[in-house]
Amino acid sequence: MINADAHAILDRRSKLFLIILAVITAWVVFANAVIPESSQFHVSNGSVVLYGKYLTYALLALSIDLIWGYCGILSLGHGAFFALGGYAMGMYLMRQIGTRGVYGHPVLPDFMVFLNWRELPWAWVGFDWFIYAAIMVFLVPGLLAFVFGWFAFRSRVTGVYLSIITQAMTYALLLAFFRNDMGFGGNNGLTDFKDILGFSVQASGTRLTLFTLSALALAACFVLCRIMVASTYGKILVAIRDAESRTRFLGYRVEHHKLLVFTVSAMMAGLAGALYVPQVGIINPSEFSPANSIEAVIWVAVGGRGTLIGAVVGALSVNAMKTAFTTGVLAPYWLFVLGAIFILVTLALPKGIMGLVDRLMAAWKARTRPVAPPQPETGA
Amino acid sequence: MTRAVRWVAAVLFALGMMGLPVEVAANTGHEAAVARFATDAFPDTIAGIEAVVDAASPLAEPVLQALIDRRLTFDPTTRRVYFRDAAGALFDAASGASVQDAPARLDTVRINNRIRNILQGALGTLTLISPDPAQRMRAAEAVLRGRDPEALPALASAITRETDPRIRTVMEQARAAIQLRLPDTSEAERQAAVAALAARGDQRTLALLRQIRAETQPGALAINLDAAIQRMEARLAVLARVQDLWAGISLGSVLLLAAIGLAITFGVMGVINMAHGEMVMLGAYTTFVVQELIRTHAPHLFDWSLPIAIPLAFLVTALVGIAIERGIIRYLYGRPLETLLATFGVSLVLQQAVRTAFGPTNREVGSPSYMSGAFDFFGLSITYGRLWIVVFAIAIFAGLLITLKATSLGLQMRAVTQNRRMASAMGIRTGFVDAMTFALGSGIAGLAGVALSQIDNVSPNLGQGYIIDSFIVVVFGGVGNLWGTLVGALTLGIANKLLEPVAGAVLGKIIILIAIILFIQKRPRGLFALKGRAIEQ
């Protein structure tokens, strides 16, 4: 079903995007590792972590755009998959602490010792191994999305109703992870990580690697999304988005298509969470809060839904703005700005930044075309 | 002359309070008894205390309290006895009349430890025969709790003169509890005492019976006790369920209040208003502002702060609602998901605006007198605040139902909901109706805010706590159906509270959320789904 030739997958714009991503990544790595700290071009370790965080957010936005932009599934609970992936990675990192915790217990993480637990809960078994944790990063969000989607899409829960129950899902998980009895650290979550695969999470080399991995994951997922949306499968998705009943009448199993794309998207979100946690050094239940999921949806809306590149652009620009605002004297006004962005984008830029780019390019072409003699287009 | 007038006044007073001729005669006894304090000799003081208790005048309690607090004084020349109240005002101890010009010399009536003990016992007894029924009730309950054998004679005499059957029952139960403790009580008396106590049935008596059971040797009494304890446990278990049910109804009405405005904006108009919670928050802050103004400018109107805040909150939030609808939402009709994002932006702006204006901390909204306190309803403890909120929710629901079904605006709203273009073709100004509908929904959210200011923290985050629950209630009940919202809110409230003792608050909530998610699979359009083609997107 997924059959698209390389040209359709990587159109000019996608290639440009991947090239820019590669250049920026290479520049950050270079500026952090090679350029001396005294130079103004040096990128500090803190900034590397920050950029790495942005990239994981961009990956989350990409996963939302895949289902919202191309299949019309507005999930207001995608933060849950992100957080689940994060917890899977966090659990591995907790197990790596070993006896270096405050209590120095040979098996149990600090918070379990604190709660007087005797042995490791079943859910933690296996997280000593990175491979197992890495599988869980995909499996847990994927399984949840599969089961959730299986029920929801089969019963034809669509539109707003689906949005509300995804929100209920992440809210239920938020409440569940706040419970100490769950065995995931309660409201403090998992933190105080020491090392990953034997490398200290604090070391600048590890951070740079994680940043690069985030960029690679983003690029890989972007290509995967392109493969999905540029193929026949992608056409069906768009058909479902625009006229679900009609697609069903044409003989397509709508629920199966939706389930596949939803599950893939949840796994991507899980991967984003897993890359996020070692970089920021903490995962706690607030990642499940419905507001976080809505904010991620906003990134997509700002960038332009249904464009994939827009999701990345939106996530990066909103978060860059957030950092700029919340670190300065304007911190109290950040929510005003964020709120205003939501309102203005939905009212004035329904296609987001990418839509604006399209319009500007069209205008520019319309203006330049009469002046310049028509030339044979190359490479388009 | 004046003395005679005073005497008549006292008689009338006593008649009014007790309605017993015994008390009339006793009042002269009080004057004679009080006079004994003027000698300031310990034996006389003790005799005086006993006489004062026997006389049982309404003045007995303040006089004895003054004595124990060393506020009882006498004039050594005239031998009249006076007392000061806690505030320091001087009264005649015999008549209770206020004394304006105090005698030149006043000596305090001396007491020692023995007298202090006697006084404490006397004061306990006195409250048992106090003219104030509420005080008698409290005293009887206190004796029941204390089970002090010393109190038995006073209790017995109090029972004989008690007229209120409810207080009398409590006194008899107190006597039973004491009798069970005494060694010389006969077996038959013990059986009767257990029966009397078993008739109560609150948690404390159950503990008392368990305690007595532990002290009892095996035998007929022990079997009786076991049976009584078992009956009481069963009854208390039922009562606890009923209490949970009431808590559920109370929570359900809170959910109804929060959700019913959303049932209008979301259910009727199809607008996903994420700023709905902030409307509730604005309503609560309006209440806060009204109360602050009343506190600083007209403190005597404090009890009126909520009735004043109700229309104002409606007005404020309705105006904000119109502004949102005209400014943003009307450009987004037919694009529900975009509306969701835009209104989420509005909610952030409103939250931050309130945070900037009022600060991020919780604001104190006081409860008027009629909303504080609780009363006992067949063993259920019901707080007035919760009761008023239930009443308020029902009133708003009824008002909204009438607005939708019996007014022309309601008719137009329903017409626009069912078929916008047809309604427009029939000459309905759909834009105006949209604005009014949104204003109505927002205004009702503001009203909910007035009520929630009484039970929740008034902070900029107030609304966020309710928005998800509200959506779930509306979706569960069935979009576009007010009755569905009512049933949905009550079902969720009651289910939540019934699950709470079994599973704990958080787990109960999680179970409810999962149940809702599963329920939506079964009935994707809620409990009461509107049927018809117009509803399909």
Q: Are residues B357 and B446 in the same domain?
A: yes
Q: Identify the bridge partners of residue A195 per DSSP, sorted by sequence position.
A: A200
Distance between CA atoms of residues A287 and A290, nearest Å: 8
At A339, list the tokens: 């709120």
Higher-confidence position of A275 and B64? A275
Note down the domain range covering A222: 6-369
**SS (HEC) of B416-466:** HHHCHHHHHHCCCCHHHHHHHHHHHHHHHHHHHHHHHCCCCCECCCCCHHH
Sign of the Cα pseudo-torsion (B419, B424, B428, B431, in order): positive
pLDDT tier for residue A376 given thresholds of 50, 70 and 90: low
Note down the domain range covering B179: 132-216
Q: How close A8 comes to chain B (CA, Å)? A: 30
Tell me if A259 sits within 8 A of A32, measured CB to CB.
no
* Domain at B368, CATH number: 1.10.3470
- Judge whether residue B20 has pLDDT over 80: no
Main-chain dihedrals φ then ψ at residue B81, nearest 5 degrees: -110, 135
Q: Which of A164, A289, A305 to mutate to test the interface with B (most CBs of B within 10 A)?
A: A164
Final residue before a domain boundary, out of B73, B93, B126 = B126
Question: What is the average pLDDT across A133-144?
Answer: 96
Of A175, A294, A340, the CB nearest to B344: A294
Q: Are residues B170 and B309 in the same domain?
A: no
Q: Which residues of chain B have a CB within 8 Å of the CB of A290? A: 468
Tell me if B252 sits within 8 A of B485, measured CB to CB.
no
Tell me if A175 sits within 8 A of B468, measured CB to CB.
no
Distance between CA atoms of residues B37 and B82, nearest Å: 10
Q: Are residues B34 and B109 in the same domain?
A: yes
A161 and B352 within 8 Å at the Cβ level: the answer is no
CB pairs under 8 A between A and B: 122
Higher-confidence position of B493 and B136? B493
Q: Are residues B115 and B140 in the same domain?
A: no
- Identify which of A36-50, A79-93, B102-116, B131-145 has the greatest average pLDDT: A79-93
Tell me if A172 sits within 8 A of B513, measured CB to CB.
yes
Distance between CA atoms of residues A314 and A309, nearest Å: 8
Q: What is the pLDDT of residues A185-234, one digit of tens each?
A: 888 899 889 888 888 888 888 999 999 999 999 999 999 999 999 999 99
Helices B430-452 and B305-327: crossing angle, nearest 10°? 140
Report DSSP letters for B104-156, one per residue: S--EEPP--HHHHHHHHHHHHHHHHT-S-HHHHHHHHHHHHHH--GGGHHHHH
Element (H, E) at A304: none
Question: Which 285-324 residues of chain A touch chain B by CB within 8 A?
Answer: 290-291, 294, 297-298, 301
The DSSP symbol for A42 reads P
Sign of the Cα pseudo-torsion (A186, A191, A192, A198, in order): positive
Distance between CA atoms of residues A80 and A68, nearest Å: 16
Q: Are residues B118 and B136 in the same domain?
A: no
pLDDT tier for residue B535 given thresholds of 50, 70 and 90: very low
Tell me if A74 sits within 8 A of A162, measured CB to CB.
yes
Q: Are residues B393 and B515 in the same domain?
A: yes
Tell me if A221 sits within 8 A of A63, measured CB to CB.
yes
Residue B537 lies in a domain: no
Main-chain dihedrals φ then ψ at residue A54, nearest 5 degrees: -55, -45
Residue B229 lies in a domain: no
pLDDT tier for residue B93 given thresholds of 50, 70 and 90: confident
Distance between CA atoms of residues B37 and B50, nearest Å: 11
B341 and A342 within 8 Å at the Cβ level: the answer is yes
Tell me if B300 sits within 8 A of B463, measured CB to CB.
no
Q: Are residues B200 and B68 in the same domain?
A: no
Amino acid at B4: A
Of A157, A168, A297, the CB nearest to B341: A297
Residue A226 lies in a domain: yes
Q: What does pTM read for this prediction? A: 0.76
Residue B253 lies in a domain: yes
**C-alpha pair distances (Å), B229 with each of A60, B32, B451:** 61, 50, 41
Residue B234 lies in a domain: no
Where b means 16+ CB within 10 Å and e means fewer, A47-86 reads ebbbbbbbbbbbbbbbbbbbbbbbbbbbbbbbbbbbbbbb
Domain count, chain A: 1
B349 and A335 within 8 Å at the Cβ level: the answer is yes
Q: Is B346 on the interface with A (CB under 8 A)?
A: yes
Tell me if B177 sits within 8 A of B144, measured CB to CB.
yes
Residue B233 lies in a domain: no
- Judge whether residue B13 has pLDDT over 80: no
Final residue before a domain boundary, out of B126, B143, B163 = B126
Distance between CA atoms of residues B72 and B110, nearest Å: 9
Q: Which long-range contacts (CB under 8 A, 24 or more apart) does B499-507 make?
A: B500/B244, B501/B240, B501/B244, B506/A175, B506/A176, B506/A178, B506/A179, B507/A179
Residue B299 lies in a domain: yes
Q: Are residues B313 and B371 in the same domain?
A: yes
pLDDT tier for residue A145 given thresholds of 50, 70 and 90: very high
Q: How close B424 comes to chain A (CA, Å)? A: 24
- Judge whether residue A95 has pLDDT over 50: yes
The SS3 call for residue A362 is helix
Q: Are residues B316 and B437 in the same domain?
A: yes
Final residue before a domain boundary, out of B65, B99, B126 = B126
Domain count, chain B: 3
Tell me if B159 sits within 8 A of B175, measured CB to CB.
yes
Residue A105 lies in a domain: yes
- Judge whether residue B467 has pLDDT over 70: yes
Q: Which residues of chain A have a CB within 8 Å of the CB of B345? A: 298, 338-343, 346
Q: Are residues B120 and B143 in the same domain?
A: no
